């Protein structure tokens, strides 16, 4: 039955092999079903007609009936264009074309009445229409058009337009398709859900998403399709969670022994926060359960995640297991290494560091000690997941700042033992709840929602560039008080050379304001050799440098409590989560800290909004929500590579409530029928199997 939907798109009337190839290449449309699922991205209301005299603004679309006259070519050969006049009984307005001149001349007929559709432009203080849509009004068509009609607009490409598949062309082949296959559209939701939530049938929804009769039914069609999409995502994720929890064994790490206790009672430099204690308990419970732990640890910058990781690793040691801690960059890995070695300095625990720049001879030793089990904790970057690294008995893997690790990379660690290690993923980029439910739906989540005591919130200020000198004066005062300063410049790959120049110019200017030998200013960027970066970073950590001018290489994790000012240049160019990360570099000690956002005078609305949000809150979760709203989920770090954002119609930023609702519904369904074997759920099972077979395998994300 479904087979017809799997038919290659080239067999659809009006398509053929050449267009089919383009459809596949440009839009990913390969089969009938793909086209059926290629929805308009917006709709224009063609239910209303205007008169020429109604054209008073260039910000809306107008639909007007009238005649075309005075068609003429203007300009010389190179700048040629065509003008015409469009008139009705209320007046006339200019039309302009710069392309397709031959075609327009041939097509337009001054005897016929046309329907013009378009957004006006302004030329020499007068409104005109550039490249308007013109359709001949024919008798029977007048009837059709005058009814309530929303026209779906499909996104397309230049190449497709050239072969007649602009938005209109696509609409036409979708129509042909629907006429051919609408009887083959199968329902995917059980009757009881359709009834309970008053949903359109799948067939009705698909017809109306392409050709809505009116706005109301369009809304219901959208709801039905989003509901379906989100429900199946949640069913997949939750079902996988059930199977993972039930089937995948984990090492039993039940003992809390000497190593943990010695650290806890004799070497812990401060009281754990309540949140840290709670989270450690949650982790302990997982690790002794006999099932593999898959836990996401969310905690704002500076909330003390590293310590939680360390104490979890000590439990592993108490049970005779090794642990690995993976960080996304060498600087971070090195910093973790130093702080952990420092915390464990009076204890008999062997800790190693393995990164891309570990010398071959050292590397050999580390490999050996990991393999024979002498080394208890290994800290490193991607180098840790190379195939040559073999563990004696890896019990726990901690992944810091997880969004930088790809799925495949993490999966590599799995294979290193027959029973997979427990996994603790730490992230300081709080993820909005709705996103977390989808992105990390099969992970358990622990949250550290409390900062260590005595931290003063960072004061955040926004200044325009003309206040630069005042800011310099402020920095001088802070440095006089013995504080250190970060100054960060954006580095965005599109114009990397230019950005780097900005950074170096900024560095030079700062050196003039803060001359040697009184002041030490250093610079750090991604193009430097690792050992040079390391050297500069080390000097800053040791307090030998007053000002560190850098790109976002210092973004994640770097911990220098004496640094109290973070100046972010061109702050409008950074995303919210990045700004939040950067701000998290200060406010780590007991002194009052400041985050100064510098921007140009000209700000886009979105840029301004971001800066306002930063000034108004320091709550990472709130910022993440705002970020999601501003940018949409596709842009949130880590989501692209996961493929999770390939939603056809649902939008995680806007449909948060529906995400939560479908999650609860999915939970209820699976509670009663975990394998979806009950007859009432037969459609769910069938569709789920189909989705799993197709491509979207949500489960492999963690
Ligand atoms: P993050 O969650 O950003 O990784 P860190 O683990 O780097 O945070 O901790 C930030 C700072 O807070 C570190 O200097 C750490 O030593 C300190 N810290 C961690 N836990 C506590 C605590 N319970 N009390 C006081 N300071 C703490
Ligand atoms: Mg950290």
Report the nearest-CA residue for atom 26 of ligand 1: 452
Q: What is the pLDDT of residue 205?
A: 97
| Token pair recorded at residue 682 | 């037969």
Alpha carbon 661 to its chain centroid, in Å, reads 22
Task: Report the C-alpha gap between 579 and 559 in whole angstroms.
Answer: 16
CATH superfamily for 459-617 is: P-loop containing nucleotide triphosphate hydrolases (3.40.50.300)
Half-sphere exposure of 669 (CA within 13 A, CB side): 28
Could you tell me the distance, in angstroms and rounded to a whole number, from the CA of residue 308 to the centre of ligand 1?
A: 9
* Of 179, 301, 305, the residue nearest 561 (C-alpha): 301
Query: Cα(86)–Cα(53) distance, rounded to whole angstroms?
Result: 12
Q: Hey, whose CA ends up nearest to atom 20 of ligand 1?
A: 304
Sorted by where each begins, the domain ranges of the chain are 1-47+148-183, 50-141, 258-448, 459-617
Query: How many Å lie between the centroid of ligand 2 and the Cα of residue 301?
Result: 7
* Contacting residues for 326 by C-beta, under 8 A, at least 6 apart: 333, 380, 381, 382, 384, 385, 397, 398, 399, 400, 405
Question: How far away, in angstroms, is 556 Cα from ligand 2 center?
Answer: 7
The residue with tokens 């004696």 is 392
Query: Which mean pLDDT values do the consecutive 10-residue runs of the chain (702 residues) have?
Result: 83 94 94 95 82 84 91 80 93 90 82 89 87 77 52 90 93 95 94 97 96 87 95 88 73 94 94 96 94 86 90 97 90 87 95 92 95 96 80 91 55 64 83 67 78 86 94 96 94 64 88 94 86 86 93 69 94 87 86 94 87 90 80 50 63 80 93 94 94 57 36
Residues 6 or more apart whose CB falls under 8 angstroms from that of 224 comprise: 199, 200, 201, 202, 204, 205
Burial class (CB in 10 A: 0-12, 13-18, 19+), 491: buried
Ligand nearest to the CA of 585: 1
DSSP secondary structure string, 452-483?
A: PTTPPPPEEEEEEGGGHHHHHHHHHHHHHTT-
The answer, yes or no, to whether any atom of ligand 1 lies below 6 A from the CB of 587, is no
Angle at 678 between CA 677 and CA 679, to 5 degrees: 115
Ligand with smallest separation from the Cα of 620: 1
If residue 277 lies in a helix (H) or strand (E), which one and from where to where?
helix 274-287
* Ligand 2 centre distance from Cα of residue 602 (Å): 35
The CATH number of the domain covering residues in 1-47+148-183: 1.10.150
Query: Do 50-141 and 459-617 show the same overall fold?
Result: no
Q: Looking at residue 347, what is its pLDDT?
A: 96
> What is the rounded distance in angstroms from the CA atom of residue 263 to the CA atom of residue 257?
10
- What is the best residue among 269, 302, 456, 580 to mutate for testing ligand 1's pocket, by most ligand atoms within 8 Å of CB? 302
CATH topology of domain 50-141: OB fold (Dihydrolipoamide Acetyltransferase, E2P) (2.40.50)
Best residue among 452, 454, 560 to mutate for probing ligand 1, ranked by most atoms within 8 Å of CB: 452
273 CB near ligand 1 (under 6 Å): yes
- Ligand with smallest separation from the Cα of 541: 1
pTM, rounded to two decimals: 0.64
Q: Which among 53, 55, 60, 71 is positioned nearest to 112, based on CA atoms?
A: 71
Distances (CA, A) of 318 to 255, 256, 259, 372, 427: 6, 6, 6, 17, 26
Q: How far is the CA of 451 from the centre of ligand 2 (A)?
A: 13
Q: What is the residue with the minimal CA distance to atom 9 of ligand 1? A: 304
Q: What is the pLDDT of residue 236?
A: 87
Q: Fold for domain 258-448?
A: Rossmann fold (3.40.50)
Nearest CA to ligand 1 atom 19: 304
Of 522, 496, 500, nearest to 510 (Cα)? 522
- Cα–Cα distance for residue pair 682/31, rounded to 1 Å: 25
């Amino acid at each position: 039955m479904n087979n017809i939907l799997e038919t290659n798109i080239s067999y659809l009337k009006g398509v053929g092999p050449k267009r089919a190839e383009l459809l596949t290449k440009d839009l990913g449309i390969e089969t009938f079903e793909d086209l059926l699922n290629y929805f308009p991205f917006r709709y224009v209301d063609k239910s209303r007609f205007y008169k020429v005299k109604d054209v008073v603004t260039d910000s809306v679309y107008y639909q007007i009936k009238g005649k075309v006259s005075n068609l003429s070519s203007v300009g010389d050969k190179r700048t040629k264009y065509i003008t015409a006049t469009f008139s009705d009984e209320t007046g006339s307005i200019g039309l302009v074309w710069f392309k397709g001149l031959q075609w327009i001349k041939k097509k337009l007929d001054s005897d016929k009445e046309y329907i013009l559709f378009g957004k006006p432009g302004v030329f020499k203080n007068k409104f005109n229409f550039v490249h308007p849509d013109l359709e001949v009004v024919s008798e029977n068509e007048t009837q059709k058009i005058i009814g309530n009609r929303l026209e779906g607009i499909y996104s397309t490409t230049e190449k497709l337009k050239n072969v007649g598949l602009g938005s209109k062309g696509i609409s036409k082949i979708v129509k042909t398709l629907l006429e051919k296959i609408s009887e083959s559209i199968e329902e995917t939701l059980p009757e009881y859900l359709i009834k309970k939530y008053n949903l359109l049938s799948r067939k009705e929804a698909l017809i109306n998403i392409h050709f809505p009769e009116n706005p109301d039914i369009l809304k219901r069609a959208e709801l039905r399709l989003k509901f379906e999409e989100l429900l199946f995502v949640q069913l997949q994720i939750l079902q996988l969670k059930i199977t993972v929890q039930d089937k995948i064994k984990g090492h039993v790490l039940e003992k809390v022994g000497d190593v943990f206790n010695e650290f806890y009672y004799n070497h812990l430099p401060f009281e754990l926060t309540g949140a840290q204690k709670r989270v450690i308990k949650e982790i302990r419970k997982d690790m002794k359960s006999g099932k593999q732990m898959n836990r996401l640890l969310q905690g704002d910058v500076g909330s003390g995640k590293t310590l939680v990781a360390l104490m979890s690793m000590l439990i592993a040691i108490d049970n005779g297991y090794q642990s690995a801690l993976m960080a996304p960059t060498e600087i971070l890995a090195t910093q973790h290494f130093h702080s952990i070695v420092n915390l464990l300095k009076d204890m008999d625990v062997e800790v190693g560091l393995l990164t891309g720049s570990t010398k071959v001879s050292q590397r050999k030793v580390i490999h050996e000690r990991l393999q024979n089990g002498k080394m208890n904790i290994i800290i490193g970057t991607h180098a840790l997941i190379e195939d040559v690294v073999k563990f004696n008995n890896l019990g726990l893997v901690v992944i810091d700042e997880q969004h930088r690790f790809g799925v495949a990379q993490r999966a590599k660690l799995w294979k290193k033992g027959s029973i997979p290690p427990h996994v603790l993923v730490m992230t300081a980029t709080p993820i909005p709840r709705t996103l977390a439910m989808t992105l990390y739906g099969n992970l358990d989540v622990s949250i550290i929602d409390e900062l260590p005591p005595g931290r003063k919130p960072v004061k955040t200020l926004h200044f325009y560039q003309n206040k630069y000198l005042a800011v310099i004066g402020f920095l001088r005062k802070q440095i006089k008080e013995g504080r250190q300063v970060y100054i960060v410049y954006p580095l965005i790959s599109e114009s990397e050379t230019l950005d780097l120049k900005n950074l170096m110019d900024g560095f030079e200017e700062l050196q003039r304001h803060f001359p040697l030998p009184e002041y030490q200013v250093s610079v750090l960027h991604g193009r430097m050799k690792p050992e040079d970066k390391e050297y500069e970073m080390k000097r800053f950590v040791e307090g030998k440098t007053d000002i560190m001018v850098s790109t976002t290489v210092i973004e994640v994790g770097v911990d220098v409590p004496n640094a109290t000012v973070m100046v972010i240049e061109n702050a409008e160019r950074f995303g919210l989560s990045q700004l939040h990360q950067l701000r998290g570099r200060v406010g780590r000690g007991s002194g009052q800290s400041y985050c100064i956002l510098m921007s140009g005078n000209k700000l886009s609305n979105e840029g301004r909004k971001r800066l306002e949000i930063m000034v108004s809150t320091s709550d990472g979760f709130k910022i993440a929500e705002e970020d999601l709203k501003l940018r949409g989920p596709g842009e949130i770090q880590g989501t692209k590579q996961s493929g999770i954002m390939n939603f056809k119609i649902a939008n995680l930023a806007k449909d948060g409530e529906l995400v939560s609702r479908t999650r609860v519904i999915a939970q209820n369904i699976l509670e009663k029928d975990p394998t979806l074997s009950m007859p009432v759920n037969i459609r769910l099972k069938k569709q789920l199997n189909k989705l799993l077979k197709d491509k979207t395998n949500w489960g492999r994300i963690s």
